[in-house]
Amino acid sequence: MSARTVATGESRGRSASRQEEPPAGAFARLRDPYCILIWKFSVDDDHAERFIELCDQSAELVREQPKCLFQRLRRDRQEFHVHVGLEDSYGVLTHVVTFSDMLKRSAAMARFCGLEIYGSGPELALLRDPLAPFSPLFIEHDDAVPI
């Protein structure tokens, strides 16, 4: 996917997201057990700005989570992906509780298309049952960062 980071300001000539890129070397700090979630949405052009604003509001709450490493929004036409890095499966479960409000609020403007969860085998095993309602794709990583 040739994704554009919304934070680069490619949406109507202005910065569409206040999300900061992870600092240089942030990925080098990732150690097991870490998890990366990718929430996928389809958003019509006429709702894109509202959806980006909603993601900005959600990001403020997500950043306050103690186990959150980063969150960023990527856009490729009508596809939006929210990438969230978390320290472990407990961080994932805490994040899902916070992010579920965003999912409810986005229902009128976006279609939820799926969830990918990258993590180590033991961390993913802890997440399978509680996250089953989202029908996620679980992807076990080795030492590679999937982004």
Mean pLDDT, rounded, of the chain: 79
Total residues belonging to the chain: 147
Parent domain of 51: 40-140
40 — pLDDT class (breaks 50, 70, 90): very high
Mean pLDDT across the stretch 98-104? Answer: 85
Q: Does residue 79 fall inside a structural domain?
A: yes
* Residue with tokens 């049952």, as numbered in its chain: 129
Residue 123, domain member (yes or no)? yes
1-26 pLDDT, tens digit per residue, is 333 333 322 332 323 333 444 444 44
Residue 128 lies in a domain: yes
146 in a structural domain: no
| 114 Ramachandran zone, left/alpha/beta (phi>0; psi -120 to 50) | left
- Domain assignment present for residue 9? The answer is no
* Total structural domains within the chain: 1
Question: Which of these ranges, 4-13, 46-55, 68-77, has the smallest mean pLDDT?
Answer: 4-13
Domain contains 68: yes
pLDDT, one tens digit per residue, over 108-136 is 899 999 999 999 999 999 999 999 999 99
State residue 114's pLDDT score.
Answer: 95
Q: Measured between alpha carbons, how far is residue 144 from residues 34, 88, 98, 120 in Å?
A: 11, 16, 27, 11
Q: Residue 129 sits in a domain of what CATH number?
A: 3.30.70.100
Residue 17 lies in a domain: no
**137, HSE (Cβ side, Cα atoms, 13 Å):** 9
> Is there a domain that residue 106 lies in?
yes
Judge residue 80's burial from the number of C-beta atoms within 10 Å of its C-beta, 0-12 exposed, 13-18 middle, 19 or more buried.
buried
pLDDT of residue 60: 83
